[in-house]
Structure 1
């Protein structure tokens, strides 16, 4: 009678994580570590130190902030300085005017710029190329403030928020047209042809085909335009009259120069914080939507 021997059991083998489909843990190379160290050393004096001075001096009294420094205040006066800026710095008025200018300007610039870019990218007419180069040159040429003021004066819009917003739309169209035209020229026209074969008109094609394709570049252009318009000071100085129409940069200038003999740096720094706060809050609140919009737009494009 033959006996059958039991199969020998194989010793336990440790399977690396890569065989289970798990990615190996990334290890930082010495070059990457050195890069992060260098970036940190550069960012601390150029970014961290000014922010630190801004916050600590905004919480000091007028005497302590007479000479701005990086030292902590002996007594925090953050709430008192905030109250003074809100009461005497015309902050709420400037915030209202900045919103009334920024939102319409961004919407009009993106809409008109994307329409013009679609025409420039898809129409092979030579005279349209001349207009495209005119728009592109407006990016590097200095703004014509004096002719713009003359035109606004003749139309009765000088010194108003509406005239200032129209001037910003005209001067900010160049960068939008330049970015979106170059982006559209890299995309095929198959989707547009298919939409027109299905009976879609020009506006329907633009709304349902072109705008989704332009989402990544329009997002970049929107961020650039919001920062540029929100912080604009030169145009506001020449085209806005009166404190009731002043935007936040102009109210900050008027508030900082209101002192007869000296500048209250603690109040000026507090005004700077409040002026930058809306952009910072919008970034924190919309961060996830911004990232998802970039990802979806990249897949669509």
Structure 2
């Protein structure tokens, strides 16, 4: 058998395995992702009576314009969108910055105390949120009920995600470049800014997607920590809008609100999805 023939057969087998994997993923996605998404979308186009059946069929009477207009004008959508952006953007940027800086320190240090601090930070991923101690601390700081207190809480509870992903990745990087930069007189900040951060880009992109999902959809902390209706984020405006009707749940309007709430998430994922898989693969190494 010639080398060319062997290479062709190897490529064919690789393509076949890839096709099988895509087929299996598609079959998995249809019932668990596509069907719920279709139900959400198509029922947001229906009237109250039709949407109450929660079927997958096309609407007999299209009511999309009225539904989405009601969400925007009566559901405080733009207020929630503004507040969600004001909370999510600076919080995520701060978590990515400080989390990656802490990960660099954790990965390079041999200190026992820092190793303990690393495991304590990483444990925040799985530990349940404690709302009563959080309210107590914010009250002592004079931040309870404020948007700043809410942002600090969200940043603290999400920091472990970035630290866990980035620390595992930094540990796999050689120290030669950092040592050379130090010999050339570069400061710690310059080394981090021009060497470490660019190499962490895939991991930070993955962390950004995970953070956007968690921060954007946060309802638990927002319910307890935000008091002023003018500061409500999108999950809170959705909650209040869904419970505001005296005629029961209007599913067509609820679904329309969910669609509009999810649009920014879909946009972020579309932009960053190419880096997500590589970032998860690289950042999962913790040795």
Residue of structure 2 aligned with 1:111, choices 63, 80, 97: 97
> For the residues of structure 1 that align with 2:256 and 2:192, how far apart are their CA atoms?
45
Match of 1:88 in 2: 74
Task: Report how far residue 242 of structure 1 moved.
Answer: 2.9
Deviation, 1:23, is 11
Q: What is the alpha-carbon distance in structure 2 between the residues aligned to residue 215 and residue 135 of structure 1? A: 21
Q: Which residue of 1 aligns with 2:285?
A: none
Q: In the TM superposition, what is the alpha-carbon distance from 1:251 to its structure 2 partner?
A: 0.8
Shift of 1:42: 2.9
Change beyond 3 A, Cα 1:214–1:157: same
Q: Deviations over 1:211-265 (max 9, x none)?
A: 1121221111111111111111111111111321111111111111112241000
Write the distance in 2 (CA, Å) between the matches of 1:119 and 1:43. Answer: 39
- Matched with 1:132 is 118
- Select 1:273's aligned residue among 259, 267, 276: 259
Aligned length: 277
Distance 2:11 2:168 in 1: 40
Q: Which SS does the other structure have where 1:54 is aligned?
A: helix
Matches within 5 A, 1:246-285: 246-284=232-270
Q: TM-score, normalised by structure 1?
A: 0.83
* CA pair 25-191 structure 1, distance change in 2 beyond 3 A: closer
Correspondence for 1:227: 213
Match of 1:156 in 2: 142
Q: Which runs of 5+ in 1 are unaligned?
A: 1-17
Task: List alignment gaps of at least 5 residues for structure 2.
Answer: 283-287
Give the aligned CA root-mean-square deviation in angstroms: 2.8
- Could you say which residue in structure 2 is the equivalent of 1:204? 190
For residues 37-48 of structure 1, what are the structure 2 equivalents within 5 Å? Answer: 37-48=23-34
